[in-house]
Amino acid sequence: MTGRDGAGGHGADLPGANPAPRGPGSREDGESSDLATLAKGGRTNFFGFLLRLVARLPFLFIAGRFYGADQLGRFASALIIIEIGGQLATLGLKRGLAKEMGQGDREEAAVIADGLLLSLLFSSLLAGILFVFPEPMFPNGMNSRWDLLLPFALVFLAVTEVMLAALAFRYNIAATVRSRAVVEPWVLSIAAGALLFVPALAEGGLAISYLLSVAAAAITAFVPMLRMYGLPHGWTPQTMRLLRLARENLPLALADAIEWGTRRLDIAILGFFVSPATVGVYYVAVQVASLPQKLKTSFEPILGPVIVRKLNEKDYAAIARQVCQAGFWIIAAQTGVALALGITGEAVMGLVGPGFVGGTGALAFLLLAEVVAATAVVSEAALIYLARIRNLVVSIVTICLQAALTVGLITLAQRLGLAEAFQAASVALALGLALGFASITKSRMLGRMLGESINNFRWPLIWAIAPAVAVGYLFTLLPEWIELALGVPAILGTYGLVIWRKGFGPEDRVLFKSGGKTAANPADEVLPSAERGR
C-alpha cells in the first residue's frame, strides 16, 4: 500500500512495532481482545459522559439565570480564542506523544517532561500575546477586568492535554474521566455559584470560575501521571529533539486545532452578526450539544493504539472492522442522546431561563451535526497514521467550507428578515453540512487506502429512531417537568430497547459486558488501578 504521506512510511516506526508472532488461531483471539479493549475504554469514558452531563447542567443554569445571556455571550466569545490556542499549544502531542514514547530509546518520564516543557513554553508565549493584545477575545466587549486573566487558562489547557495523553498511553482513561468529567465541570459550577455571593468578585465570576476549573483539572491529571511515571532521572531538556518533535507533530497539532475550531468558528462568526445575548443563547445550545460530542472521544485514546498494532501487522481489514465497529457504537449512542435532548429541546433550554428557549432550533441542528461527525472522527483515528498530510488538507477544506456556509446562510437569513434565533440556527446548519462533507471525504479516503468499505450506518438505527420520536412527541404534550423527568428516560429506553434487539449483534454487545481480565492486555488497567503503573 502506498501514499502514506508524513506517517513515517510503514508501521515499523510506530509504537508497538515488531509484535510477537502469533500462532494458528490466535488472530481471532487478537480480534476479540481488541474489541474488548475498545469496549472497555468506551465504557469508562461513557461513565464520564454521564458525570459531565450531571455537572454541566448546574453551570448552565447558574450562568443563564444569574449572570444572563449578555455576560454568557461575551464569555463564550473569549473562550473560542483561549481553547483553540490551548489545542495549538499541545503541538500535536495529544496524539503524537504515544509514538514518541513508543520509540523505547528514552525513559518515558523524560519524554513526557520534554513534551510538557515544549507545551508550557508555547502556551506561555500565546498567553502572553493575548494578555498584551486581548482585543481578538472580546469582539463584543468584556464583562469585567477579570476577563483579562483568561489567557492564563490557555497554559493549563495545554499541559493537561499532554498529561492525559501520557496517561492514555498506558490505557488510564479513568484519569481523563476524573479530570475532564468530574473535577473541571464541578469546580466550574460550584465556583460560579459561590462567587455570586462575593461582591468584589461577582462581576468576574464566569472568568474566575473558569480559571479555577482548568487549574483544578490540571492538578487532577498531574497527580496520577506522577504516580504512574515518576520524576525523570537525570533529565535535561533536549532542545533539538524538542524542535524536531514540534515540526513532526505540526500536522497533528493543526488537525486537532481545526477539529476544535469547527466547534468554535460558529460562535466566533455569529458574534459579528448578532447581539451578545443571542451568542449567549447559542453558547448554551452548544454546551448541551457538546454532551453527546464527548461520546466519540470515549474511544479515541483506545482506538489509536489498537490501530497502530494492526498497522504493524499490516492487517488492514482488521483496521477497517475496528473503525466501523467503534463508529457504529458512537453513532448509536449519540443518536439516542440527540433524540432525548432534541425532542425535549424547549424544556431543556427553558431550564437555563425563559429567554433561552429561542435556541431550540440551533440545538436540534447542533445535535444532528454531532451524529454526522462521528464517521469523520473514527476515520481520522487511522488517517493520522496513514496519511496525516492529506487528512490535514481535508480538515482545512472542511473549516473553510464551514466559514463560507456560515457567512452565506446567516447573510441569507438576514436578507430574508428572519429573527436572530433563526440566524443562529442557520449557523448550526452550516456546521452540520461541513461536518457531513468531512465524514464522507475521510471515510472514502480511508476506505481506498485500506481496500475496505468504511460505513458506520446501519438500517436498524432508523427502526429505533421512529418509535423513540413517537414516544417523545407524546411527552411534549405534557407539562415540562414531566417531559424532562419522564420523557427523556422514556425516549432513551424506547430507542435503546429497539437498537439492542434489532441493531446489536454479539460483537456489539461486548460494549455492555465487563468480561474477564486478560493479563496480556494492558487495557484491563483502564480503571483507576491503572495508576499503580506497570
Domain spans, the chain: 25-457
Question: Which helix (H) or strand (E) is 71 found in, with range?
Answer: helix 68-89
Looking at residue 374, what is its pLDDT? 85
Q: Which among 270, 531, 302, 510 is positioned nearest to 410, based on CA atoms?
A: 270
Looking at residue 168, what is its pLDDT? 81
Q: What is the DSSP letter of 511?
A: G
Looking at residue 86, what is its pLDDT? 86
Q: Which stretches of the chain score pLDDT less than 70?
A: 1-54, 95, 102, 104, 239, 242, 293-302, 304-305, 506-534
* C-alpha to C-alpha distance for 288 and 273, rounded to whole angstroms: 22
* The residue to which cell 465524514 is assigned: 439
Looking at residue 387, what is its pLDDT? 85
Looking at residue 412, what is its pLDDT? 95
Looking at residue 59, what is its pLDDT? 87
Residues 6+ positions from 210 with CB-CB distance below 8 Å: 75, 79, 150, 153, 188
Looking at residue 63, what is its pLDDT? 87
Looking at residue 413, what is its pLDDT? 94
pTM of the model: 0.74
Looking at residue 22, what is its pLDDT? 41
Looking at residue 263, what is its pLDDT? 78
**Phi, psi for residue 64 in degrees, rounded to 5:** -70, -40
**Burial of residue 131, with CB atoms counted within 10 A of its CB: 0-12 exposed, 13-18 middle, 19 or more buried:** middle
